[in-house]
Structure 1
Amino acid sequence: MEATKTEEIRRKISRKKLDVEQWIIKNKLPREIEDDILSSIMLTLKQRIDADIDNFLFSIPPGITKISLKRRLCLETLKKVKKLQDMNENVLTLICDNLKPVRYIENSFVFRMGDPVDRMLFISEGTLLIYESSDGQAGQGISSMDTRCLGKGDFYGEELLHCASKCFTKLPVSSKQVKCHTKVDAFVLMAKDLGAIVSRRPLQWEKNENKGSHEVENKAASTIITTFRHRKKNGHAKGH
C-alpha cells in the first residue's frame, strides 16, 4: 500500500516538473528555485495525496521560499504603482511579504460598483475586465469602448494607498465593475495589512507622502511662474 502511494506521488511530481519549469521560465525566475518548489510539492503530497497543487504558491508552505518568490514576482510590479515609485525599498519588501495569493474563477466579480475597496490587487495570471455599467447589471448596457482589460503585471485598487493610515476608518469605493474574464491568479494587499505596514514604518511612509505633496506644490509653483513670465513677456511686446 505504501509502495503504491509512493509511486502515485512520484507520478504526480513527474507531471508537475514540466509545469514548474515552464512557470519558472515564464516568470524569469532563477532555476535553483525549482528544487524548492518541487520539494514543497512533494511534502504537500506526502501529507495529503489529494492536495490541490495546481497553484504552486498555494501549495508551498510558509517560509523563506514563499517570501523570496513573492518578492521576485511582485517587487517590480509595486514599483510601477505611481504612489509607490519613490517609496523606501524596505517598505516595498514589507508590502511584498504581506501579499496573499488568491484565485478568482472565470466570470466572477472582484468588485462591483459601490463596493468598498478593501484590498489592492496585483495580477500574476489571467485577465480582468474593468468597466462602468449604467444599469448596474453585469454584462448589460456596456460596450467594448467602455471596457479596459488588465493582465499579468497590472494592478487595481491604487486608491487604497491614498487613504492609507495606521487604522482605516474609511475605505474608498470602487467606481468600476471589476470582473474576471478568465481564471485569475493574483496577490492582494489587504487594507488591514497595509495599515499594519504604515504603523510599522510611519516615518518612511510619511516621508514619501510629504515628498509627493512637495512635488505637487513645486509643479503648481512652476506653472504659476511660467504663466506670470509668459504674461509679462506678452505685456512688454504689446507695449512696444
Structure 2
Amino acid sequence: MSLRQRDIEQWMRHRYLPQELRRRVLEAERYHWAVTRGVNERMLMENLPEDLQRDIRRHLFELLKKVSIFNLMDDHVLDVVCEKLKQKIYIKGSEIFQVGGLVEKMIFIVRGNLENIDHDGTVLPLCEGDVCGEELLTWFLEHSLVSKDGRRIKTSGQYLISSRTVRCRTNVEAFSLSAADLEEVTSIFARHLRNPLVQGAIRYRSPYWRARAATIIQVAWRYRKKCLRNSSKGVQSNHSSNSRV
C-alpha cells in the first residue's frame, strides 16, 4: 500500500493536481485498498477456468442477495448479470448521477449510505440493498424494438437523461452494470425482466418511481380540482340565469 501510495503521489505531482483533488484521490485509493486488499480481482479471474470463475462469482456476489431484485432471478439469469457486474468504490461526497446528466449505468448498493435528490429538492435516503439508475432497465424494456423476423433491435443512439442527483453520504461499495451490458441482458431476458414480481421489486423501494408516482398523483389531483371548480362555476352561472328569468 505504501508503494502504491508513493506512485500515486508522484503521478499527481507530475499532473499538477490541486491539493483538494489529491486528497480525494488518496481517500478513494485507501478505501479501495481496504475493500480489495490491493488485489486486481478481474485480472486474477480471467486466468481461471470458466466453471471456476462462475462458482467464485456466485460466492463473491452473495452480497447481492441484499438487493431484492436478485432474489427473484433464476440462477442462469443471475450468472449472466454477475459476469457483467463491475465493483465500484465511491467516497463521501461523490455524485453518481446528476440532474440533466446521462444515465449510463445501474448501481446496486452493497454497503454505505447515499441520498437521492429529486429535481424539486425532495431528499430520500438510500442504503445497502437499494438500487439507483433502475429507470434505465424500464427504459430499455419500453424502448425495445422488434424486427420482422422477431429479433430485438438495439436502441443505439438513444439516451436517458437523469431527473435526480444521487450523492454519497459515506464511502460506498457497490456493483455497477453499464448501459450497454444492461441493454444486452434485457435483450436476452426481456420476458423474465417484464415479470410483474421483478418489476414490483424494482419499483417498491425505488425513489425514482415513488417520485414519478407522486408527480402523477399531483397532476391528477390538480386536474380534478380544476374540473370541480369549472363545474361549480357552471352550476352557479345557470342558477344566476334562472334567478333573473
131, 136, 141: which is aligned to 1:155? 131
Aligned AA for 1:191? A
TM-score norm. by structure 1 comes to: 0.52
179, 184, 190: which is aligned to 2:172? 184
| Residues 1:61 and 2:45 aligned together | no
Q: Which runs of no fewer than 5 residues in structure 2 stay unpaired?
A: 3-29, 46-52, 145-152, 201-245
User: What is the CA distance between 1:196 and its match in structure 2?
Assistant: 2.9
Write the distance in 1 (CA, Å) between the matches of 2:79 and 2:135: 20
Aligned AA for 2:57? I
TM-score norm. by structure 2 comes to: 0.51
Partner residue of 1:206? 190
Write the distance in 1 (CA, Å) between the matches of 2:166 and 2:131: 11
C-alpha contact 1:168 1:191 (8 A) present in aligned 2: no
Partner residue of 2:217? none
| Residues 1:110 and 2:96 aligned together | yes
| Residues 1:197 and 2:185 aligned together | yes
Write the distance in 1 (CA, Å) between the matches of 2:129 and 2:177: 15
Aligned AA for 1:90? H
User: What is the CA distance between 1:209 and its match in structure 2?
Assistant: 5.4
Write the distance in 1 (CA, Å) between the matches of 2:37 and 2:109: 13
C-alpha contact 1:58 1:101 (8 A) present in aligned 2: no
User: What is the CA distance between 1:159 and its match in structure 2?
Assistant: 1.1
Write the distance in 2 (CA, Å) between the matches of 1:210 and 1:56: 35
Write the distance in 2 (CA, Å) between the matches of 1:130 and 1:193: 24
User: What is the CA distance between 1:173 and its match in structure 2?
Assistant: 2.1
State the number of aligned residues: 149
Q: Deviations over 1:15-65 (max 9, x none)?
A: xxxxxxxxxxxxxxxxxxxxxxxxxxxxxxxxxxx9x63112872523237
User: What is the CA distance between 1:180 and its match in structure 2?
Assistant: 0.9
Write the distance in 2 (CA, Å) between the matches of 1:168 and 1:94: 20
Write the distance in 2 (CA, Å) between the matches of 1:177 and 1:210: 26
Aligned AA for 2:183? G
Aligned AA for 2:154? C
Q: Deviations over 1:120-166 (max 9, x none)?
A: 111112111101245xxxxxxx4xxx211111111111111113356
Write the distance in 2 (CA, Å) between the matches of 1:206 and 1:126: 30
User: What is the CA distance between 1:116 and its match in structure 2?
Assistant: 1.5
Q: Which runs of no fewer than 5 residues in structure 1 stay unpaired?
A: 1-7, 9-49, 135-141, 217-240
Partner residue of 1:72? 62
C-alpha contact 1:119 1:189 (8 A) present in aligned 2: yes
